[in-house]
Structure 1
């Protein structure tokens, strides 16, 4: 059975790194990075809200097509509202795929430190995240992190993985256990 794995977590929590590691577990698994899709849209920064909606629509269509083909999809995304979670769950139901929700957690101060440590990164997604933080009215990482935790409280099936700063292998082992536990519960 195909599965759709949502990895939620603050910026710099290791979502993308862990998603790419997890993708190596099963052939043709798609790491569906919505921020990369948004970054592929011309002049997206002129209207980041519309660009974000367009990227999500494209991402959902891609996820559905890939799941219908019988392959897994992993979505590493920092979410604070339920809309995309519910849309991903709906795609899973329509395609008969298993839906696994995982959240990478630390604490708000750690999340803020990790985000700040990436300043000046050459990675396009990291630069874009910095750009979005500089938009007038953007909420601080601590506020966004609190909103994510509030969302997670409403999602009882979410499996939590405490990130280990500097220990990718240990965090990845915990992620594998969380995904396996979610699968056991689903069966």
Structure 2
């Protein structure tokens, strides 16, 4: 059965790294990065909100196609509101895929530091862009508020599994993600 895996968490916590690691080890799995899809839209910066909605709709359509073909989909995305998560969960049920919601979470102050460090040393244009967008939205104060919204939402998402991440501990975090994806034996 194909898996729809959402890797949620604050910016800089390893979502993209772990998503890429997963697809590198699982043939034909799709790393469906919504930020990259949004970047494919012409002049998306002129209407960030509409571009985000379109990117999410395109991601759902691509995920549907890939899951129906029997292949895993990983979506690395910061999501602090439940509406898109619920949409993805519904999609998984529709196409008979396993749904996994995994939240990568570091302590608040460490998450802020990791994002700042990543932005300072950014070689990936997507990371530079993330810093620029955050600066327009309010900088570190907004990042802190985003973190708080995510933690608050977790109380309403009991099926979400949390993996505590630490800087430099990619292998440990990846092993924990894989452990959460293992099938649970069912009683006969």
TM-score by length of 2: 0.92
Aligned to 1:78: 78
- Cα distance 1:157–1:33, how it changes in 2: closer, same or farther (>3 A)? same
1:164–1:170 Cα contact (<8 Å) kept: no
- Cα distance 1:53–1:184, how it changes in 2: closer, same or farther (>3 A)? same
Gap runs ≥5 in structure 2: none
Give the CA deviation at 1:108. Answer: 1.1
Aligned to 2:142: 140
Structure 1 segments (4+ residues) deviating >2 Å: 136-139
Deviations 1:135-157 (A, max 9, x none): 25576211100101111111111
What is the distance in 1 between the residues matched to 2:24 and 2:186? 22
Alignment of 1:21-36 (within 5 A): 21-36=21-36
What is the distance in 1 between the residues matched to 2:157 and 2:66? 25
Q: Alignment partner of 2:166: what SS?
A: coil
What is the distance in 2 between the residues matched to 1:178 and 1:9? 16
Aligned to 1:163: 165
Q: CA RMSD in A?
A: 1.7
Count the aligned residue pairs: 185
